[in-house]
Amino acid sequence: MKIAIQEFIDYLHREKKTSQNTEVSYKRDLKKMEEFLTQQGVEREDQVSPLLLNSYVLYLENSRLAPASISRNVASVRAFFRFLYKNRVIDEDPSEHLKAPKIEKKMPEILSVEEVEVLLQQPDVHTAKGMRDRAMIELLYATGMRVSELIRLRAEDVNLSLGYVTCCDGERERIIPFGRICQDALQEYLSKARESFVRERQVEELFTNCSGRPMSRQGFWKVLKTYARQAGITRDITPHTLRHSFAAHLIQNGADVKSVQEMLGHSDVSTTQMYLNLNVNKIRDVYMNAHPRH
């Protein structure tokens, strides 16, 4: 089964243009499934039955995994067996009716506009590091891009004069505008700070760490957490919190869902509509607190 799993990962990379993080996630999930099946005496993919896969989901539930983690594992298993079935490695898809546990949808964590303002005041813009950090946080909040997209940005992806960035998400490419404040932060970083990190080397990435190597997800997360703590934000925010805040603030200020969907790169508008629901909840709270006859 190891060979089949690797062929599936190769297919994702070659045909679906998936990110390295996605491929690592699939491989980890499928290795876990393979270990379980091996313990049940199953070595080949054509020996797997629906009953065995249901037993595997029950095993995950008994392992006290979070419903979201189980759901992700089930999605990986279904994608794997669909791949095998379509390529006629197996005659029937044993995962066809496999179901994941229901996940209670939680509203995303967002920052208030005031919290974002305080957060963006934290970097010391008299230093190269502070200019870099402010430019990164400004760009993330100004565009709503994913942190994985942010750290992959090349200098040539930013059009300062017209105020937009070209962002790649796998095969798809989208153009996201940004405002004057973000434009100024990027201009200052590019003209005054970036050279001190790359030191005349040919580095494609727009943002690097202090050693001149590409910024990592973990590196940026540490940067953000440090400034959040300095800003007095006690919640455990992540880079994705800024993406949620970007979308929620746009919709709260009248942006239409379709435009926000395009900027976020969501393939399904229903994913974006949760921010509209968030706005409805906010309006309801305002009403309940302010109307004399609530």
Q: What is the pLDDT of residues 209-238, one digit of tens each?
A: 998 898 999 999 999 999 999 999 988 889
Q: What is the pLDDT of residues 11-68, one digit of tens each?
A: 999 988 888 888 999 999 999 999 999 999 998 999 999 999 999 999 999 998 888 8
256-292: b (≥16 Cβ within 10 Å) or e: ebeebbebbbeeeeeebebbbebbeeeeeeeeeeeee
Q: C-alpha angle 262/268/270, rounded to 5°?
A: 105
Whole-prediction pTM = 0.63
Alpha-carbon distances of 251 from 6, 149, 257, 275, rounded to whole Å: 42, 22, 7, 7
Percent of the chain as helix, strand, coil, to the nearest 5 = 60, 5, 30
In terms of Cα–Cα distance, which of 33, 39, 25 is closest to 1?
A: 33
Query: Whose structure tokens read 């008299």?
Result: 126
Residues of the chain above pLDDT 90, percent: 63
Let me know if 37 is exposed, middle or buried by CB neighbors in 10 A (0-12, 13-18, 19+).
buried
Q: Sign of dihedral through CA atoms 16, 18, 22, 28?
A: positive
What's the alpha-carbon Rg for the chain, to the nearest Å? 23
pLDDT computed for residue 283 by the predictor: 45
Query: Whose structure tokens read 């440090």?
Result: 226
The β-bridge partners of 167 are 174
Token readout for 191 is 């003209």
203 CB neighbour count, 10 Å cutoff: 17
Which stretches of the chain drop beneath a pLDDT of 50? 280, 283-284, 286-287, 291, 293-294
